[in-house]
Each structure stands twice: as structure tokens, then as C-alpha cells.
């Protein structure tokens, strides 16, 4: 994605926060997003111009990977007064009946492989461009978003953007920007650990190889 941003600034791709709006008005050639964006585009763009979906851009020389951002999930609050009832409801959400409804709604890919590969999702008569198949095939290369309990995703994203924007403006290299972002994020994590008085794990020095008497 950043190859596109760095190489095609004139198309507005140097402003990733505005990509969706630019795309909706025909000012950007592509945006990056999940399956949930499809019904939004159908509503906001409609048939004003022809649009579709494609696999994530990737360098064939590198390992193919897509980062999963903002997935929908379920969790049970540890202090709930109704643990058994909540667990039954959670079972329903990930069960067959609920996943069929998820497939028909078209916002997300069903978590059940059976339903995701069934006609409920793949055989949608409105999916004339086979967009569902594109997203389902892409899910094979998805990696979970890196999260940390000692820094919010919003703060991590902010620190990352502050540094990567410098690369977009040609004020530093991508490599240096990523190094500085990593340093800033680790610094925030360290502050949180110190504030909560959580001991940090120090790196152990590398041990040298054993020597024989003949060396």
C-alpha cells in the first residue's frame, strides 16, 4: 500500500485518512478495506461508476501477508453476573443459524468455513462480481493486527502515522520511519510498565560457543 502512496502522491494517495472520501468522489483509484466496506460502497457510490474488489497488492519477492484491522469479535466480561447465559448467547453468535444470517447480511465473512464456502455466502445472486470469493481467498494470507495490553491501538497507530508521514513527505526513508515508530511505541509501552510497576524482561547476553582444548 505504501509503495502506492509514495509513488502516486498526485492521485491523493498521500492522504490515507481521506482515501475513502476521495474514492467515493472518483478522485482516487483504490482504497484498502475489509468485506464490511462493500455494503457501504453500494450505498454511498452505488452505480455512479463501476467499482469492484481485488486481492491485496503484494511484492512477489516477499511473503504474502495482509494485516487484519478492526475484526469483529466477541468476548465475555469476567465480572458478568450471568456467565452461563452469556456463554450460551456466545455459542449462538458463532453457531450455524447466526453465521447464515451473517452471510446473508454481507458485512463480514462468516467465521464458519462451512458457511463461508456455502451458497449462503458464495452463491449470493447480488454478488455478480464474485467479490465474496476474492475476500475469502485473501483470508488465507491474513495476519492478526499486532496488539499490546500496555498501549492502545489508537496510540500505537498515532505514533506509527507520525513517523510514516515523514516518509510520505520525503523527509526520511521508510526504513528509518519504521525504526523510529518502533522506538516510540516501545517507549510508550515502557512508560506504562513503569507506571504500573510491572518488571520488564531484560535481554540475556548472547552466550559464546564452547571451546575445546584444541582451539
The residue with greater pLDDT, 147 or 210, is 147
Q: Where are the beta strands (DSSP E) in 73-189?
A: 142-144
CB 1 within 8 A of CB 69: no
The secondary structure of residue 66, as a DSSP letter, is: E
The secondary structure of residue 139, as a DSSP letter, is: G
C-alpha cell at 183: 522506538
Say yes or no to pLDDT of 104 above 60: yes
What torsion do the CA atoms of 47, 45, 132, 3 make, to the nearest 10 degrees?
120
Q: Per residue in 151-197, pLDDT tens?
A: 998 899 889 888 988 888 888 998 999 999 999 999 999 999 998 87
Q: How many CB atoms lie within 10 A of CB 209?
A: 5
Q: Per residue in 114-136, pLDDT tens?
A: 999 999 988 877 777 788 998 88
Structure pTM? 0.66
Amino acid at each position: 500500500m505504501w509503495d502506492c502512496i509514495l509513488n502516486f502522491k498526485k492521485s491523493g494517495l498521500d492522504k490515507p485518512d481521506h482515501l475513502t472520501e476521495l474514492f467515493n468522489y472518483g478522485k482516487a483509484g483504490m482504497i484498502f478495506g475489509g468485506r464490511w466496506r462493500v455494503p457501504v460502497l453500494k450505498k454511498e457510490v452505488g452505480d455512479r461508476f463501476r467499482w469492484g474488489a481485488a486481492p491485496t497488492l503484494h511484492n512477489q519477492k516477499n511473503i504474502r501477508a495482509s494485516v487484519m484491522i478492526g475484526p469483529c469479535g466477541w468476548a465475555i466480561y469476567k465480572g458478568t453476573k450471568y456467565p452461563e447465559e452469556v456463554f450460551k448467547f456466545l455459542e449462538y453468535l458463532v453457531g450455524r443459524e447466526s453465521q447464515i444470517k451473517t452471510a446473508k447480511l454481507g458485512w463480514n465473512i462468516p467465521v464458519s468455513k462451512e458457511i463461508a464456502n456455502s451458497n449462503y455466502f458464495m452463491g449470493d445472486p447480488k454478488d455478480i462480481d464474485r467479490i465474496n470469493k476474492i475476500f475469502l481467498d485473501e483470508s488465507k494470507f491474513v495476519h492478526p493486527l499486532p496488539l499490546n495490553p500496555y498501549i492502545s491501538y489508537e496510540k500505537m497507530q498515532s505514533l506509527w502515522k507520525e513517523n510514516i508521514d515523514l516518509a510520505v513527505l520525503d523527509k526520511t526513508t521508510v526504513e528509518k520511519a519504521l525504526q523510529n515508530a518502533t522506538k516510540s511505541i516501545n517507549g510508550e509501552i515502557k512508560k506504562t510498565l513503569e507506571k504500573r510497576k510491572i518488571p520488564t524482561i531484560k535481554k540475556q547476553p548472547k552466550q559464546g560457543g564452547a571451546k575445546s582444548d584444541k582451539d
